Amino acid sequence: MHMLRYLLLAAALAIPASAFAAEAQPPSASSERRLTPQEIERILDEASARREAAEAANVDHGPKISGEMGVSIGTGGYRSVFGSAYVPMDDGFASFSFSTEKSRDSYGIYGDR
pLDDT of amino acid 81: 94
* pTM for the predicted model, two decimal places: 0.37
pLDDT band, residue 19 (cuts 50/70/90): low
How many C-beta atoms surround the C-beta of residue 51 within 10 A? 10
Strand order in the sheet with 79-89: 66-73, 79-89, 92-102
Q: What pLDDT, in 10s, does the model give residues 45-84?
A: 999 998 888 777 776 666 788 999 999 998 878 899 999 9
Residue 93 pLDDT > 80: yes
**86 neighbors 68 (Cβ within 8 angstroms):** no
pLDDT of amino acid 23: 62
Domain chopping of the chain, boundaries: 66-102
Closest by CA position to 84, among listed 100, 64, 71, 98? 98
